[in-house]
Amino acid sequence: MDSALPENSRAMNEKNLKLVQQCLKQFDVTEKQLRQIQAAILQDMEQALSRQTDPSPTVQMLPTYVRSTPHGTEQGNFLVLELGTSGATLRVLWVTLRGTTGPRKEPVSWEFTIPTEITLGTGQQLFDFAAGCLVEFLDRLKVGSQPIQLGFNFSFPCHQTGLDQSTLISWTKGFRCSGVEGQDVVQLLREAIQRQGAYNIDVVAVVNDTVGTMMSCDPRPQACEIGLVVDTGTNACYMEEARHVGELGEDQGRVCVNVQWGSFGDSGALEPVQTPFDLQLDQESLNPGTQRFEKMVGGLYLGELVRLVLIHLAGQRALFGGVTSPALLTRGSVHIEHVMEIEDPSHGRARAQAVLQGLGLNPSAQDYEQVQQVCGAVSARAARLCAAALTAILARVKSNQERSHLGVAVATGGRVYEQHPRFSTILQQTVRLLAPDSDTTFVPSEDGGGWGVAVVTAVASRLALHRHHLEETLAPFRLDSEQLKAVQAEMREAMVRGLQGEDSTLPMLPTYVCATPDGTERGDFLALDLGGTNFRVLWVKVGSRSEGGVKITNQVFSIPESVTQGTGQQLFDHIVDCIVDFQKEHGLSGQTLPLGFTFSFPCKQVGLDQGILLSWTKGFKASDCEGQDVVSLLRAAIRRRQGVELNVVAIVNDTVGTMMSCGYEDPHCEVGLIVGTGTNACYMEELCNVSAVPGDKGRMCINMEWGAFGDDGLLKELCTPFDISVDKSSINPGKQRFEKLISGMYLGEIVRQILLHLTCLGVLFRGQVFQCLQTKDIFKTKFLSEIESDLQRRQVRAILEKLGLPVSCDDALMVREVCQAVSQRAAKLCGAGVAAVVEKIRENRGLEELSVAVGVDGTLYKLHPHFSDQVKDTVRHLAPRCSVRFLQSEDGSGKGAALVTAVACRLAGSTRP
Ligand code: BG6
Ligand code: GLC
Ligand code: GLC
């Protein structure tokens, strides 16, 4: 075609083309620059999250109090008011959410145009106008007088302090109503609604449009964790770990953060890519110097940038033959809609021509093409900048998830993103270029985010209800100081009664251990350790400290349930078999070493080597043992196994073994405590207080068997329905009631019962009662330790998913709260017990202040991240006059049993003539 032009016009055209191209070059942003912008935004985001102010970050990172992406189960009718997304329009929607059932119902929605005098008027005028629109809408919809829950989509930077509390930081885009900045916009809206007085509307939640967009997307197959809006303005939100949000001061869960990236670059970071047109646009805007990024990307500004470029090019005579028009010279005359029409190839030239003619211009064919290039350059730059910002968020999400490959879905919304012919394509291409290792899916939001606002509103009311159920369920587990003092006092009374031989749930069993080791014990011993997680046989060499003190060789043997719950003969034969194997393995066959037997069950002792089993506890139930002397049963088994000689010297409870074991290191250790499969304590009591043993002088270690505390119904008030159910389905209903509130054998079961209850209430696992939740003992107590140690909740999810429970983020959080409530109660009750013991020792000795050490063992105590601290805190609180050190036994109570045996041998040796 050009060849048909006269020579001089062709030259002129080429010159014009060059001028245009030269001018548009300024809108090029190189890949390197995009990467720099991405890095700068990421840095700003991190600084803003951790509230660093030097240098001051320009993105705001505002927590939104939206803590989970939609479930898809939300239901109900919601009124949505949308203000600030699309220019000077206000939308009202009536959204019906039907959960997972029923077809989707289209929302009813209306748009109202806000007159300019209102966008620039007073706040009261604006909110009265909005409330008026609501009333008009509801009148037409004929909703009647039902209570209405409203979600407020308010798309301006706000500082939220709750789901329904939000203070406007500053107006952006074309708004500047007086008296609103610094005010709670929810309150202003509520007041305006009240002034109308027509409907019973509760403003339940306020959200930014990005959040509405993120929440609008169908959670299947993958929930969107990022929301992106490019409309009049631009912005994004995403799900961040709450512990990274300095302002929240929380360590659990996630929260949606409104990035407010429109203000990125307000301190100069965008200078390398800014053109003189950007500077002019900024200077002439309502808010000069602010929202610099938004002014390069948001739809309110793209038309204006195009206008400024066109005027410039016309001035250079590169366009319109150098002629402008009054309309082109008027600020705001080129809208984003114009830009989109000019760029849209499907419209052909006619629409573009109409737009330009509408601006009073008279474009040539070449003008038309060049104007299209101008629009293309401005919008392509916007899309690329927006992509750079989005990849900063992707990088952040990826580092949170600590995954090398990221699969993430981004919900998208806003007229520019949705309607511009090339914006989304360029943005997506650039995202792939800048974040090649992220597998990013872009999901268009429903109804411009209105749907999502309804979802947040539904979630807000659902969460409030769930929290209420959770709090109500866990309240009885949260014991206060008075309750703990009462437990301590009752324990103390039961101790005294037990010692005096009166009716008491605490048998206060004499152990015939009267002294802690003095370090002069020597020799080789065998020890057995039965009743905890593991059955062990040990070879203990006790030497002088210079020879290295105590050396232990031990081996764990399994005892099948068929044996723990079979006959006594089977059990003791099995034990002897294990000893024989051990001796063979360690070259001890044929030697008759003195043997100490840690037997962690309640035994009535009449001497060191005689213990009558009162009752099995924990998971044991071998027949024909209760009421029998355990040492005799062991000796009988030794006899049955011919050719084996063993010299059983002492039978020791694990609490006593632990006390002795720690006592070897620290002579102040006068209490033994076990919090493992079971729980129990022993301590050094004045012999004069022990009615079952003659003699008034000295002390004897008393095995309290505190697991049975409360078996008379004393703890009834503290027991929840979950405890009752755990007790009922245990092997020993009605027995060991204190132990069943504290020890490892039961805590997992209590948690399972609570989870089951919360699931039935619909609070957990979307109300689906899975088979595994109904399976006894599936929830191990070690899970409590793992779940409570795990700040990132990955463990929580892994554990629950392995059990077959599909967990949402909220579920994981709530399960952890349940575990915490159960383990805290256990630790506090245990602390109340210890407080009773140390106080008794202090009073026995008539001391103002007591300094004492407690030797402790047991998997729960050792593995749980907070249990020991909570026990210590409780003891400090309930026994303020005792200074109590807790020593963890490192070698188990088998070592203690060997030491008891050594002491016995030493004493026997010294009494020998
Ligand atoms: C161990 C003892 O150290 O602690 C056992 O050797 C005792 O005898 C145990 O029963 C308690 O812990 P758990 O968790 O194994 O029951
Ligand atoms: C402006 C607002 C922001 C909003 C965005 C998109 O940047 O400040 O809150 O999300 O526009 O509408
Ligand atoms: C059970 C036993 C007790 C033991 C405790 C800890 O309560 O009855 O003897 O000390 O568990 O293992």
Digit-coded pLDDT (tens) for 170-196:
999 989 999 999 999 999 999 999 999
**What is the structure's pLDDT at 254?**
86
**Ligand closest to CA 532:** 1
Secondary structure class of 613 (helix, strand, coil) = strand
**What is the structure's pLDDT at 251?**
67
Pocket around ligand 2 at a 6 A CB cut-off:
85, 155-157, 172-173, 208-210, 229, 231, 233-235, 260, 262, 294
**pLDDT, tens only, 249-276:** 776 678 999 999 999 999 999 999 999 9
Residue 482 has a CB neighbour count (10 Å cut-off) of 8
Which overall architecture, per CATH, does domain 69-216+447-467 show?
A: 2-Layer Sandwich (3.30)
For the CA of 156, the nearest atom of ligand 2: 9
Q: Is 857 in the pocket of ligand 1 (CB under 6 A)?
A: yes
Compute the average pLDDT of residues 211-219. 88
Distance CA 769, CA 850 (A): 52
Distance CA 617, CA 628 (A): 15
Collect contacts of 103-106 with beta carbons under 8 A, ≥24 apart. none
**pLDDT, tens only, 123-170:** 999 999 999 999 999 999 998 889 999 999 999 999 999 889 999 999
User: What integer best gives the mean pLDDT of the chain?
Assistant: 92
**What is the structure's pLDDT at 688?**
96
Q: Tell me the DSSP string of 189-226.
A: HHHHHHHH--S-EEEEEEE-HHHHHHHHS--SSS-EEE
Q: What is the largest CA-CA distance in the chain?
A: 137
φ/ψ bin of 610: left (φ > 0), alpha (ψ from -120 to 50), beta (otherwise): beta
pTM above 0.75, yes or no: no
Distance CA 657, CA 672 (A): 8
Torsion, Cα of 107, 111, 112, 113 (10° steps)? 160
Question: Which residues carry out catalysis?
Answer: 536, 600, 654
Pocket around ligand 3 at a 6 A CB cut-off:
531-532, 600-602, 617-618, 653-655, 674, 676-680, 705, 707, 739
For the CA of 210, the nearest atom of ligand 2: 10
First vs last Cα of the chain: how many Å apart?
A: 130
HSE, CB side, 13 Å, CA atoms: give it for residue 736: 28
- DSSP alpha helices (H): ranges in 761-808? 781-789, 794-802
For the CA of 233, the nearest atom of ligand 2: 11
**What is the structure's pLDDT at 405?**
66
Q: Is 598 in the pocket of ligand 1 (CB under 6 A)?
A: yes
Of all protein residues, the one whose alpha carbon is nearest to atom 12 of ligand 3 is 678
Options 2.40.40.20, 3.10.20.30, 3.30.420.40, 3.90.730.10; which CATH number does 492-710+892-911 get? 3.30.420.40
DSSP for residue 108: E
* pLDDT of residue 418 exceeding 70: yes
**pLDDT, tens only, 310-335:** 999 999 999 999 999 999 999 999 99
CATH 3.30.420.40 domain span(s) along the chain: 69-216+447-467, 492-710+892-911
Q: Are 456 and 64 in contact (CB under 8 A)?
A: no
More confident residue, 461 or 835: 835
**pLDDT, tens only, 701-722:** 999 999 999 999 999 999 999 9
**What is the structure's pLDDT at 800?**
87
DSSP for residue 677: S
* Fold held by 266-436: Hexokinase; domain 1 (3.40.367)
* CA 794 to centroid of ligand 1, rounded, Å: 29
Sheet-wide strand order for 201-207: 108-113, 89-98, 75-83, 148-154, 201-207
For the CA of 707, the nearest atom of ligand 3: 7
* CA 571 to centroid of ligand 1, rounded, Å: 19
* CA 216 to centroid of ligand 1, rounded, Å: 53
**What is the structure's pLDDT at 912?**
31
* pLDDT of residue 513 exceeding 50: yes
Compute the average pLDDT of residues 22-34. 97
Compute the average pLDDT of residues 682-701. 95
Of all protein residues, the one whose alpha carbon is nearest to atom 8 of ligand 2 is 156
DSSP for residue 122: B
